[in-house]
Chains A and B, each alone.
Chain A
Amino acid sequence: MNPRDAPVVAASAQAAPAADPTRVRRPLFRKYFIALFVAVVVPLLINGASEAWFGYRDDRALLDQRLRVEAAAAASKIQGFLDGIRDQMQWAVQLPWSEGETERHRFDALRVLRQVPAIVDLTLVDGAGKERLKISRVGRDIVGGGTDLSTDPAVAGARRGRVWYGPVTLNRGSEPYMTIAVAGNRAAVGVAVAQINLKLIWDVITAIRVGQTGAAFVVDRNARLVAHPNISLVLQGADETTTARLKELQAATAVAGGNAVTTRDAEGRTVLAAMAPIAGADWMVFAEQPVAEAYAPIRAALWRTAILVLAGALFAAILAFYLARRMSGPIRQLERGVERIGAGQFAHRIAISTGDELERLAARVNQMAGELALSQERSERIARLKRFLSPQVAEIVERAGTDDLLGAQKVDVVVVFCDLRGFTAFSARAEPEEVMRVLGEYYEALGAIILRHEATLTHFAGDGMMLLLNAPVPCPDNPALRGVRMAADMQAAVQALIVGWRARGHTLGFGIGLAKGIATVGRIGYEGRHDYTAIGRVANLASRLCDDAEDNQILLDANAAAAVGGTVALTPLGTRDLKGFGESAVSAVSSKAAAE
């Protein structure tokens, strides 16, 4: 971010060249996006999965139940078919076999045949078990046959349990027939035995629909198909594969305990089958439905859930994208803004109006940029001021906030000039390094003193310096006195250096001139390079005095001497003819006083 730091970072990152400081390894956008997306999608998925699972279980249970109900309904219809036959046969066993009643019995029997098309023939047996009448649709009617049928299983069975259902037999190897025997409520009325053509159940069984393509079928205790919507399967008689398949189904159903079982139908389709028994005939009614159809609602529900989850995930992705974008966008904007501000464009402002903490952060950064701009401006000014003002003065000027203090004015100032004696000769003679070293020591020593006394350095040239007191900032105390003291300090410091220089073979001395008077002070120079200086007689006078001063001497003009008179020991040197000033009274600071 900070361009000045960039090379450093780059240097430290050289071990991992892939890491580009401007490229983030784990962008916020991606993090937020993933976090938000996952936060929405994971519960959605869990919910979807659990819904699918429980839905499947419930639907499967419902399917089981529905198939059981279908089987039971089919069974009750088949039962109804058989019960209808039984009930009609009851009419044939109402009258006892007294003499002359044969004709009545015959009509009863004919009526039963008329009512029940499935009855092929009907035999009436009297209380003693003798055959009394046989009525047939296809064969000869026999009246008073007299055959003893009391040991016939049908007759015996009906006598025992009122109704007897025989095994299923195949007429001419094809059509399923069954014997039903019904006994009257008194032994004397005998038993009616009927041959039933079970093909007529077909009308019942085809009317039963299990779902769209499912069916019901009837199987007897020997796993023989009694009724099936595909009549051919019934009429084809028992073949081994069909019987084996049905036996397996019967066994599987027994194990499943009422639940639907998965099996294959005659056409090889996978089907779900549930069973309901028919008690009297000892048959089993199966309701079967192709799995493909049975599970269609479950599959549809699963699809629905999947689509919902997908839609939810899509919505979550959009939402996550939007939120992550809202979060990372301003942050990136902030980053760019901070980068530009860091690069010094303090005028740059970050425009974020998200109404949240990020907006506040942007405002703070903007504020910071403003303050940075101010601060830079100020520090630049101070740096500028410091060139000719002591730091303290510079601060004062700076704090005043305007350049008014530096404006042109006439002020009673103290001007101090100083330079080294014999420097020109020395500089011509000595090595440049030595010259610069001497100057370095010289200015270092003087700089500290000037700073301490808060004098204004107006300019220096080579070994010479012009200092100003009481401008631009007025001295709170006597400026002349301060100037004298500073001069004394300077003289003392330089003299100490001169000892060293002389030891190195350099013949150098140091003189100071000091004058007090009204001068025009102000800033001079051009845009980008300003100096503060004092112009006037007093400046020239101080310069002359400096020129006149000997080594280790501080010369004062009359004004200055008058200003410090009494506080500093001065040695009046009478008048001297100073160039451009004529005869002027000059005093020197006593070296004794200077030492104090």
Chain B
Amino acid sequence: MRRRAFNFALGGAALVSLSPARAQIASKTSRLAIVHPSHPVAGMTETGIAQYRAFFRELRRLGYAEGRNLSVDRWSAEGQAGRYLELARAALAKKPDVILAGGTGPVAALQASSQTTPIVGIMSDPVAAGLAFSLARPGGNVTGVAVDAGEAFHGKRLELLLDMVPTAHRVVYLLSADRSDLGVPVSVLDFAKHRRVALYTVRIEGVVPEPAYPRAFAAIAEERADALFVGTAPVHLTHRATIVALAAAARLPASYQWRDFVELGGLMSYAPSLPDLYGRCAGYVDRILKGANPAELPILQPEKFELAVNLKTAKALGLTVPESILARADEVIE
């Protein structure tokens, strides 16, 4: 309650300084820091990977151009969860006006280091993670988007995988070494039970990508799995090429969270549209730079979901993609 009152006062101050802030936009250079848990910094540009392209395109539409009135510092943990705090401190040391952070972990690390620097985060569930009071009124210095469209969403991904591979009976859920990666989401367990498939977990251990991932795939083979469910840990995204290659070698039909995997030959992914969400984050960055208070910017929920299917991979695996999947697919890679 106390903190909320404080934040309201902050909000008032921000409102008062709104018009000068607006006037400064043309001349003043705004400082933006971007922290991502997995993607290398090289991809976090206007010409980089899809979501950052969308982010910078939207910023440009709103009147920001890097190098002219926007300076950007980029930081990536490249899949190493242990570096989040270190990155957060380094990012905050640059005294950015606003931080764009991907993933719940980096956002949590940033908020632990600063309760005042506005953070626009792409998080799974910020309320559950204690980063915000509520989606409607976050109340702190964190706003952004909540990628998780509810806990049931993970179960939905398993449902789609089993729709794709109706013959699968033994599914392996790939966990990371990250301590925050606690285990299999409840909805996945529930759905496995509902469809009477055996669900095993394999945790990657050791140095990534080599030898941890090949070792994990060896363990998967030992389980005689006929389908793979790759978990949401950022580290997988960093080493997606390795995972996709190992899955292909093992002839395992696999479901991934992000379409980045499918672009590299992964079978299928289902997730909120990241370019869409990053585009919205750009809108929030703009509003914060113009003086809006992150405590009062509602955390957005995704409304656009992308089912991506790689038909080439399906063919290589000898799978016939069912009509129901094709009917649902937003992107079919042939």
B200 cross-chain contacts in A, Cβ below 8 A: none
The answer to whether A110 and B152 touch across the interface, beta carbons within 8 angstroms, is no
Contact across chains for B303 and A200 when beta carbons are under 8 A apart: yes
Of B103-111, B129-137, B206-214, the one with at least 4 CB within 8 A of chain A: B129-137
B306, chain A: closest CB distance, angstroms: 11
Give the chain A neighbours of B149 by CB distance below 8 A.
137-138
Q: How many residues of B contact A (CB 8 A)?
A: 28
Which residue among A140, A141, A236, A237 has the maximum number of chain B CB atoms within 10 Å of its CB? A140
Instruction: Determine if B300 is an interface residue (Cβ-Cβ < 8 Å).
Output: yes
Q: Please measure, in the bound complex, the distance between the C-alpha atom of A139 and the C-alpha atom of B149, giving whole angstroms.
A: 9
Q: Are A139 and B134 in contact (CB under 8 A)?
A: no
Assess the A172–B156 pair: CB atoms within 8 A: no
Complex CA–CA separation, A113 to B303 (angstroms): 12
Residue B297 at the chain A interface, CB threshold 8 Å: yes
Question: Is A173 within 8 A of B156, CB to CB?
Answer: no
**What band does the interface of chain A fall in when counting residues whose beta carbon is under 8 Å from B?**
20 to 34
Check B327 against A110 for contact (C-beta < 8 Å).
yes
Cβ B152 vs Cβ A139 within 8 A: yes
Cα distance A114–B323 in the bound complex, in angstroms: 13
Indicate whether B180 reaches chain A with its CB closer than 8 angstroms.
no
Q: Is the CB of B303 within 8 A of A199?
A: yes
Render A34-48 as a binary contact track against B, CB cut-off 8 A, 1 for contact. Answer: 000000000000000
Q: What is the bound-complex CA distance between A236 and B296, given in angstroms?
A: 8
With the chains together, A408 CA to B188 CA distance in Å? Answer: 161
Q: How far is the CB of B33 from chain A (nearest CB, A)?
A: 23
Beyond A106-B324, A174-B299, A236-B298, whether A138 also contacts B305 by CB under 8 A is: yes
Our pick among A117, A137, A197, A236 for the contact of B136 (Cβ within 8 Å) is A236
Residues in B with CB closer than 8 Å to A136 are: 152, 156
B136 to chain A, nearest CB (A): 4
Most chain A Cβ neighbours within 10 Å, of B152, B153, B301, B305: B301
0/1 interface trace, chain B 315-334, chain A, CB 8 Å (1 if under): 00000000110011000000
Interface string of B185-220 (1 = CB under 8 A from A): 001000100100000000000000000000000000
Rounded to whole angstroms, the CA-CA distance of A200 and B276 in the bound complex is 13
Find out whether the CB atom of A173 lies under 8 angstroms from the CB atom of B327: no
How far is the CB of A115 from the nearest CB of chain B, in Å? Answer: 11
**CB–CB B328/A113 < 8 A:** yes
| Cα–Cα distance between A175 and B301 once the two chains are bound (Å) | 8
B residues near A235, Cβ cutoff 8 Å: 135-136, 298, 300
Cα distance A137–B300 when bound, in Å? 17
In the complex, chain A residues whose CB is within 8 Å of the CB of B135: 172-175, 235
CA distance A141 to B135 in the complex (A): 26
B283: nearest chain-A partner, CB-CB? A231
B155 CB–A CB distance under 8 Å: yes
Q: How far is the CA of A117 from the CA of B302 in the complex (A)?
A: 11
On chain B, the residues within 8 Å of A172 by CB distance are 127, 135, 150, 301
10 chain-A/chain-B pairs, Cβ below 8 angstroms = A106-B324, A110-B328, A137-B149, A138-B150, A139-B150, A173-B134, A174-B136, A174-B298, A236-B137, A237-B136
Q: Report B's interface with A, CB cutoff 8 A.
A: 127, 134-137, 149-150, 152-153, 155-156, 159, 187, 191, 194, 296-301, 303-305, 323-324, 327-328
Per CB-CB distance, the 6 closest pairs between chain A and chain B, nearest first, are A235-B298, A174-B135, A110-B327, A138-B149, A237-B136, A139-B152
